[in-house]
Structure 1
Amino acid sequence: MTHSLEVPLLLRAAHGEVLARPPVWMMRQAGRYMQVYRDLRDKYPSFRERSENPDLAIEISLQPWRAFQPDGVIMFSDILTPLPGMGIPFEIIESKGPIIDPAIRTQAQIDALRPLEPEESLPFIKTILQSLRQEVGNKSTVLGFVGAPWTLAAYAIEGKSSKTYSVIKSMAFSEPKILHQFLTKIADAIAIYVRYQIDCGAQVVQIFDSWAGELSPQDYEVFALPYQQRLIQQVKATHPHTPLILYISGSAGILEYMGQSGVDIVSVDWTLDIAQARQRLGKEIKVQGNIDPGVLFGSQSFIRDRIFDTIKKAGNHGHILNLGHGVLVGTPEDNVRFFFETAKQADQLLA
């Protein structure tokens, strides 16, 4: 049996151990707020090249690890990465975001989708995750991540980012049978993809249902939750001990449903007090979060106070300190560094 001190802190938190301090990482900790990333982006302007060329993706994933030593190192990738393997091509255009053309709108398109075979369509994922595990050893936890079925379907059906989600909601409310078939195919493909990431070295996998917060609770229960459950049940059937995290932006109204998804950890956004979130989710569910990314534009004393407040409210077990969303572009790197340093000294400073 591995001694618990050899197990990375984030994994210990994910399994519910009582800890002197919570582990800390940040969503979008690799990326545009870092000068080293912007320099690399100038040299390699294609997002897909940066995320699908293993050497570049490994380098980008490790940039914040080298700078700040977070307790979690997340693979640099995109939630849309597996879609071409199903027969849904996409492009990412700088400052515009993802474009899927043609968008998925018909029964014939859904019938033509193929099952995901990650060894064939996503071989770079294995190289990236294996290399990250080798690089960070037991000093940190390597995280994989995927998009959840509703959010991936929304991208594919809208064809791009959306403020209203009117195309997918139109399908949901007028042709639900077609949408349910599509969501089923996506859930099964993403389950395969999560298992592949774990087999390649991911120790924890975060599931982003970024757009499910746009659903009313009654529609979430029909179009998001059953497909999260379908995906998670398939993963847990083969990899029962790998912790899974679910993140949804704007999730205060659907928090209890997130707890019913089958994940081990619910990542809470900043619109909800984390003590209330713990109360609403119950003792079995661990939490991640939930500092407003805007706090990192504040003074150091303000950042310190928010870190301590969050840690005290979340308690000393089953909490991973994180932001309530990704690091914002323009965030001062020194404040990110201060955030990590303060979080990692929390056991002494809070004593």
Structure 2
Amino acid sequence: MTSSSSIKDSLFMKALRREPTERRPMWLMRQAGRYLPEYRATRAKAGSFLKLAGNPELACEVTLQPIERYGFDAAILFSDILILPHAMGLGLGFQAGEGPYFERPVRTPDDVAALPTPDPKDDTGYVMEAVRLIRRDLPEGTPLIGFAGSPWTVATYMIEGRSSKDFANAKKLLLGAPEAAHQLMNHLADTTADYLAAQVEAGADALMIFDSWGGALSPTLYRDYSLASQQRIVDRLKERCPDTPLILFGKGCGQHLELLADTGCQGLGVDWTMDLSEARERVGHRVALQGNLDPAVLLTSPEIIQAETRRVLDSFGDGPGHIFNLGHGITPEVPPEHVEVLVETVRSRTF
């Protein structure tokens, strides 16, 4: 069992508090994934992605795999951003080559009004059990990150019924039925806050919200729906888990960095479309920054990986408050040995 003091003094947690560390802490989004042969073996044993995510013992196993292989400075719970709508009875499934889909999408105000409120300890109890198992089995001093999708990002899948390129149905709801859209965002924000607070109670040391599709919205719609719903979550978590740091990650949301920093979160994930030097200049010392190597770099060569990794480190510059990560999730085609090159390059940089 890891002591709370060793977690608090970990490189990852110190960086989130913008305290000096002897080297940059690092972890990777989607670090437990298909690029690892051991993950593929466990997933084959489970039978499907959803069965893997729904089995606490196997979810624990794959969460620990990249920690055992690379010794990352933080683990992230193996789960999915669509667990909450799945618990609401929308019929989540995964189609090979197509991604997630819902059998019963939410399209009308009546659909929104009919959504139930899942109990995080009952309807998603398997997630909390996975958190407990991971927390028990992680190496001493390794923090565990719990997570959820942002209300807007989760809503796009609920409304469209599957992945989308233009989010036409979702935007139609925001623009054509704003009252129902706000009701949906508030419902998702409140259930997400409950879900994340339950992860903390089960053993998560930090939290992260993934807003994968915030960049698809106009500035007005972003502020009114995506940002407002994330703010609602931040406010509720500050009341319930005031000592648990929260990282907000918005893909394609560089124009909104200052607004995100003003929410009261402790860290901001930055995608690869912005230099960290610019992000740091814009948010100052309000938050830690996490990122932001383009995942495609890991498909190249060791020499390019080293050069691009150093470029990211140099872009942030010296001083505290940086957690090295990718600008989005690691892709399945990445050779595991390329991740080793990345890890060694980051760890060789002291400051």
Using the size of structure 2 for normalisation, the TM-score is 0.95
Alignment of 1:25-64 (within 5 A): 25-64=27-66
Name the structure 2 match of 1:345. Answer: 348
Distance (Å, rounded) in 2 between the aligned partners of 1:137 and 1:130: 14
**Is 1:329 the counterpart of 2:332 in the alignment?**
yes
**Is 1:22 the counterpart of 2:24 in the alignment?**
yes
Distance (Å, rounded) in 2 between the aligned partners of 1:6 and 1:236: 18
Which ranges in structure 2 are unaligned for 5 or more consecutive residues?
none
From 231, 238, 246, the equivalent of 2:233 is: 231
From 222, 246, 249, the equivalent of 2:248 is: 246
Q: Secondary structure at the match of 1:140?
A: coil
1:151-201 CA-to-partner distances (Å, cap 9, x unmatched) read: 111110111000000001111111111111111111000000010011111
Q: Does the 8 Å contact 1:10/1:23 carry over to 2?
A: yes
Q: Does the 8 Å contact 1:209/1:247 carry over to 2?
A: yes
Distance (Å, rounded) in 2 between the aligned partners of 1:85 and 1:57: 17
| TM-aligned CA distance change 1:2 to 1:206, over 3 Å | closer
Q: Secondary structure at the match of 1:40?
A: helix
From 206, 209, 212, the equivalent of 1:207 is: 209
Q: Does the 8 Å contact 1:256/1:280 carry over to 2?
A: yes
Q: Secondary structure at the match of 1:41?
A: helix
How many equivalent pairs are there?
348
Distance (Å, rounded) in 2 between the aligned partners of 1:5 and 1:55: 23
From 46, 70, 73, the equivalent of 1:71 is: 73
Distance (Å, rounded) in 2 between the aligned partners of 1:106 and 1:67: 47
Q: Secondary structure at the match of 1:163?
A: coil
Shift of 1:325: 0.6
Name the aligned partner's letter for residue 342 of structure 1: T
**Is 1:304 the counterpart of 2:267 in the alignment?**
no
From 104, 107, 117, the equivalent of 2:106 is: 104
Shift of 1:56: 1.1
Name the structure 2 match of 1:184. Answer: 186
Q: Does the 8 Å contact 1:125/1:200 carry over to 2?
A: no
Name the structure 1 match of 2:259. Answer: 257
Moved more, 111-120 or 234-243: 111-120
Moved more, 4-13 or 191-200: 4-13
Q: Does the 8 Å contact 2:109/2:177 carry over to 1?
A: no
Name the aligned partner's letter for residue 329 of structure 1: P
Shift of 1:341: 2.2
| TM-aligned CA distance change 1:289 to 1:86, over 3 Å | same
Identity %: 36
Name the aligned partner's letter for residue 82 of structure 1: L
1:85-132 CA-to-partner distances (Å, cap 9, x unmatched) read: 334331122321111121101222222222221111111122211121
Q: Does the 8 Å contact 1:9/1:140 carry over to 2?
A: no
Q: Does the 8 Å contact 1:144/1:204 carry over to 2?
A: yes
1:292-328 CA-to-partner distances (Å, cap 9, x unmatched) read: 1111123223222222222233233111100001111
Distance (Å, rounded) in 2 between the aligned partners of 1:242 and 1:138: 18
Shift of 1:4: 7.0
CA RMSD of aligned residues (A): 1.7
Q: Does the 8 Å contact 1:93/1:99 carry over to 2?
A: yes
Q: Does the 8 Å contact 1:213/1:254 carry over to 2?
A: no
**Is 1:85 the counterpart of 2:87 in the alignment?**
yes
| TM-aligned CA distance change 1:4 to 1:45, over 3 Å | closer
Distance (Å, rounded) in 2 between the aligned partners of 1:238 and 1:42: 38
Name the aligned partner's letter for residue 227 of structure 2: L
Name the structure 2 match of 1:170. Answer: 172
Q: Secondary structure at the match of 2:303?
A: helix
Using the size of structure 1 for normalisation, the TM-score is 0.95
Shift of 1:139: 3.4
| TM-aligned CA distance change 1:239 to 1:119, over 3 Å | same
Distance (Å, rounded) in 1 between the aligned partners of 2:119 and 2:6: 35
Distance (Å, rounded) in 2 between the aligned partners of 1:3 and 1:135: 17
Name the structure 1 match of 2:198. Answer: 196
